Amino acid sequence: MADYSEKNLKKNSVLLAVYKAVSMVLSMLYVPVILGYLGTGLYGIWATILNVISWVNYFDIGIGNGLRNKLSAALAKDADDSRVKSLISSAYVLLSVVVLGVMAVALVVFQFIDWNALLNIPESLYGNAKAVVAVSFALMCIGFVFSICKSLFFAVQEAHIVSLLGVAQQACMLMSVLTLGLFDSDRLMSVAIAYGLSALVIELAFTFAFFRKRRPWVPTPMAYDKGMARDVTGLGVQFFIIQMASLVLSSTDNVIVSNIFGPEAVTPYSTAFKLFTVPVSLYASMISPYWSSITARYARGDVSGIKGNVRHMEKLLALPAVCCLVLALAYTPITDIWLGQHLDTSTDLVWLMFVYCLVYSWNAIWSQVSNGMACMKMMMALAVGQAIVNIPLSYLFANMIGSSSGVLLGTIVTMLSSSVVYPAYINRKLAKESAIEQ
């Protein structure tokens, strides 16, 4: 059973911080290693390809998040093992069918796309981007089926295991690139294969570890239940719409930068983004257990408990704010030491990254609450609206400013709507729930 006590939440937050910190150190080590292995041009291509194919993480039609909420609520109400098994089995069957189906169709469609032209990659720099995209995408799809174990760990309030999984993946990826340096091969393709296999192997290992401790829950096709599949999918589809709209915010910036300013401009942009999101990712990981906790509290009608969770997340907000300020003030010497080389990065971009991180961190609090309470209509309407305006705004500001800073400014302006709408909606909803309780 899941432990939703405050003590366990704090334990998860501490362990998440520790594991996430280790993962980030490994990630920071990974960047100069892979940058040295690929060089600035190929690294820019690889960063752009990763952003493009990352949308596979959203093509589970929200099944992972639907399972997380439904399983959290079921465990909060002391569901029996057979019901839990059917819920998990239904999610696995659905996810396998959807993701593998999308993979098959996408791989065919990819053959008709000129990826070099789309991503503005000169033939002289790398002439076979199509093959790299296909291999990376296929491996990511296969691994994604097993990544649903993350939703299971979240639901049983063992969120820190998800960060431990991230540590293992980062370590495996770092070792793989160091090993690749010993061989003479197609460097970009080798990185794509190593990246995909590293993620897949670790996800398989953690999936096995989860079910070894919970044998009655091991999924089987025979335990598939249409009713439970419909419940998971109904909620999941709404999460899926939100995820797809959010994808516009999270993965189009590098493509726009590459399209307007060339792949070389992606390297300083993506490097700055990666550095500034270190404290933000740490913060997001620390508060991630509150999603499932809020789901359980909402199922029980514990409004005061939800408000307490929000206050605790707000107190932790000082962590990313202070860390990002230090990064903005000392960005150049930090990156010079980190990368072992100098990258020309504009001051405007650095400070806009700081603003982006503040807005993102604030929104992360209310995203946890909104997801936990399943405020789907509000989230869908806002996410779709943001998806519609983000790309035009990014192109507009990029052309006005004449640098990649404009792309980021467009994203920040788009995100500000969430900063206002989310807390206003949630506070009003909680006030109504409190009135009903009284």
pLDDT for res 203: 92
From CA 168, how far away is CA 165, in angstroms rounded?
A: 5
Q: pLDDT at residue 135 above 60?
A: yes
Residue numbers of the domain that contains 59: 6-437
Residue 75 belongs to some domain of the structure = yes
User: What per-residue confidence (pLDDT) applies to 288?
Assistant: 82
- The confidence score (pLDDT) of residue 120 equals 75
Give residue 2's pLDDT: 63
pLDDT in tens, 406-430: 888 998 999 999 999 999 999 888 8
- Whether the pLDDT of residue 1 is over 70: the answer is no
Burial of 36 (0-12, 13-18, 19+ CB in 10 A): middle
Whether the predicted model's global pTM rises above the 0.85 cut: no
**60 found inside a domain:** yes
Identify the residue with better confidence: 429 or 1: 429
Contacts of 25 (CB under 8 A, 6+ apart): none
Residue 1 belongs to a domain: no
Please report which residue ranges of 54-122 form alpha helices under DSSP H.
Answer: 63-76, 81-110, 115-118
Alpha helix (H) residue ranges in 262-346: 266-287, 289-300, 303-315, 318-329, 331-339
Around 270, how many Cα atoms within 13 Å sit in the side-chain half-sphere? 29
Q: What is the pLDDT of residues 27-37, one digit of tens each?
A: 878 888 888 88
DSSP label at residue 216: G
Tens digits of residue pLDDT in 148-183: 888 899 888 888 888 889 889 889 988 988 888 777
Note the pLDDT tens digit of each residue in 323-333. Answer: 999 999 998 88
pLDDT value, residue 357: 93
The answer to whether residue 155 sits within a structural domain is yes
Given a contact cutoff of 8 angstroms between Cβ atoms, the answer to whether 163 and 128 are in contact is no
Question: Is residue 373 included in any domain, yes or no?
Answer: yes
Residues whose CB falls within 8 Å of the CB of residue 297, separated by 6 or more in sequence, listed in order: 4, 303, 305, 306, 309, 372
Q: 73 lies in a domain?
A: yes
What letter represents residue 118's amino acid?
Answer: L
Check residue 3 and give its pLDDT: 65
Q: How many domains does the chain have?
A: 1
CA distance 343 to 339: 9
Q: What is the pLDDT of residue 55?
A: 66
Determine the 3-state secondary structure of 361 from DSSP.
helix
Assess if residue 131 is contained within a domain.
Answer: yes
Angle between helices 81-110 and 63-76 (to 10 degrees): 170
Dist CA 197 CA 179 (whole Å): 14
Mean pLDDT confidence for 117-127: 76
Residue 56 has pLDDT above 70, yes or no: no
Q: What is the pLDDT of residue 61?
A: 67
Q: Tens digit of pLDDT for each residue in 194-244? A: 888 988 999 999 999 999 988 899 988 888 888 887 877 777 677 777 777
Between CA 428 and CA 435, with CA 431 as vertex, the angle to 5 degrees is 140
Decide if 292 is inside a domain: yes
Examine the pLDDT at 245 and tell me if it is beyond 80: no
